Amino acid sequence: TVRAVALDRQPLPQLSAGAWQLKERGIEVAAVQVWREIKEQAVEVARVAQELAEKGRAWLERVAERAAEQVRDVVERVAPADAWGEFFAAAAPGASAAAEGLARDLEVERRLEAQREAAEREARERVQEQERRAHERDDGHDHGW
């Protein structure tokens, strides 16, 4: 992957503050030249890795399309297309009921999470208020003792 290739390269050398200032002014010193060469090499490695990733992605898409066509051909030989339609039509009511149940469960989880977050936020605010009061008391700002 691009990330793996990026990790497998020479790290950019550390430039001293003086070398960095000279670089910014356009003055070339040896450390800056090495830095530029390694940076250019890293850009080229990233370009090649990206190109390989794109070729790999295209190859995987072609393989997946061929596999899907082969599976589709086998399925059509085993069962006619209208049989699958009947199967999915029969399964649809149960699937939609299961999906509704899942949606309800997710909504309950979201509400519980929101309640937990609100309780945690209130607890943090209480602690911050207590710390603020203690700080004011310690600094002598609170004259109400």
pLDDT in tens, 30-61: 888 888 888 888 888 888 888 888 888 888 88
* pLDDT greater than 70 at residue 142: no
Helices (H) and strands (E) in the chain, counts: 4, 0
Domain limits for position 103:
82-145
Tell me, yes or no, whether 54 and 107 share the same domain.
no
Among the three residues 78, 103, 123, which one is the final residue of a domain in this structure?
A: 78
Confidence of residue 144 (pLDDT cuts 50, 70, 90): low
Residues 124-137 have a mean pLDDT of 84
Q: What total number of domains does the chain contain?
A: 2
Among the three residues 34, 50, 78, which one is the final residue of a domain in this structure?
A: 78
Q: Bigger pLDDT: 67 or 3?
A: 67
Share of the chain above pLDDT 70, in %: 67
Q: Bigger pLDDT: 95 or 38?
A: 38
Among the three residues 78, 96, 112, which one is the final residue of a domain in this structure?
A: 78
User: How far are the Cα atoms of 12, 24, 71, 100 from residue 21, in angstroms, in the given order?
Assistant: 17, 5, 63, 63
Tell me, yes or no, whether 41 and 63 share the same domain.
yes
C-beta separation of 5 from 26 below 8 A: no
